[in-house]
C-alpha cells in the first residue's frame, strides 16, 4: 500500500510543476477574456479531459514508442531529464517575456475553442509532461504501479481544473509577484525532478553489462599497449 502511495505521490510531484496550473490559469484568463464565464468553464473542463487522455495515452504507449524508435530506458531518462531541466531553468529565470506572446494571444482569442490548443497542448500536457509520463512508465513494473500513476495523473488533472475554473480568483489573489513566486517554486521542484531523471539514466547506463564490457575491453587494450 505504501509503495502504491509513493508512486502516486511521485507522479504528483513530477507532473504538477511542469503543468504549472497557476501560470496556466493566467494565460487561460487572458485568452478567454472575450467569452462568458460559462463558456470559459466548459473549455477548462474539456482542456483537462484532453490533458488526462493525452498523458494516459503516452503512459500506455510509452514502451511501444521506445521499442519502435529503438530508445533505451536510460537514454529516455537522460533526454527527458535534460528537457525538464531546461524548462525548469527558464521558469527560475526572471520572466522577460510573457508565457504567450502577443501574436499567439491574438490568434488564440480568435479561436472559438482553445481547450485543445494552446491550453491542453502545449500548456498543460506539452513535451515536458509527456517526457515525464513516459519516464514514469519506465519505472513501473506491475499493473498496480501503472494504476498508481494514473491516479496521480488524475489528481494533477483535478488540481489543474480547479485552478482554471477559479482562474479569476487565483490571478486576483496571487497578483503578478505571487504568480512569479509560484512559477519559481514550481521551477525549483521541476529542476530537482529533471536532475533526478538524469542521475537515474546515468546509473542505468553504468549498470548495463555492455557498458562494463566496453570499459574492460578498453582497459585490456590499454594494458596490452603499455606492455608492448
- Structure confidence at residue 56 (pLDDT): 93
Q: Determine which of 121-125, 164-168, 189-193, 224-228 has the lowest per-residue pLDDT on average.
A: 224-228
Per-residue pLDDT at 143 exceeds 80: yes
For the residues 56-61, what does the mean pLDDT come to? 89
Nearest-CA neighbor of 108 among 47, 17, 20, 178? 47
Full-model pTM = 0.77
Per-residue pLDDT at 161 exceeds 90: yes
Q: Where are the domains of the chain?
A: 2-227
Amino acid at each position: 500500500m505504501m509503495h502504491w502511495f509513493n508512486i502516486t505521490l511521485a507522479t504528483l510531484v513530477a507532473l504538477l510543476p511542469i503543468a504549472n496550473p497557476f501560470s496556466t490559469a493566467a494565460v487561460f484568463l487572458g485568452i478567454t477574456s472575450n467569452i462568458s464565464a460559462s463558456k470559459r468553464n466548459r473549455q477548462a473542463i474539456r482542456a483537462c479531459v484532453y490533458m488526462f487522455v493525452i498523458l494516459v495515452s503516452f503512459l500506455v504507449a510509452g514502451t511501444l514508442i521506445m521499442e519502435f524508435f529503438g530508445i533505451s530506458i536510460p537514454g529516455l531518462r537522460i533526454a527527458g531529464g535534460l528537457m525538464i531541466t531546461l524548462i525548469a531553468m527558464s521558469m527560475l529565470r526572471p520572466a522577460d517575456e510573457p508565457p504567450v506572446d502577443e501574436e499567439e494571444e491574438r490568434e488564440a482569442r480568435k479561436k472559438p475553442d482553445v481547450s485543445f490548443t494552446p491550453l491542453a497542448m502545449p500548456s498543460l500536457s506539452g513535451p515536458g509532461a509527456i517526457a515525464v509520463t513516459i519516464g514514469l512508465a519506465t519505472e513501473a513494473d506491475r499493473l498496480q504501479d501503472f494504476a498508481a500513476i494514473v491516479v496521480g495523473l488524475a489528481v494533477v488533472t483535478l488540481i489543474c481544473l480547479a485552478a482554471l475554473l477559479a482562474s479569476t480568483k487565483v490571478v486576483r489573489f496571487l497578483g503578478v509577484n505571487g504568480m512569479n513566486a509560484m512559477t519559481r517554486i514550481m521551477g525549483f521542484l521541476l529542476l530537482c525532478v529533471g536532475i533526478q531523471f538524469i542521475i537515474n539514466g546515468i546509473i542505468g547506463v553504468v549498470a548495463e553489462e555492455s557498458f562494463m564490457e566496453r570499459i574492460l575491453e578498453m582497459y585490456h587494450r590499454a594494458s596490452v599497449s603499455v606492455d608492448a
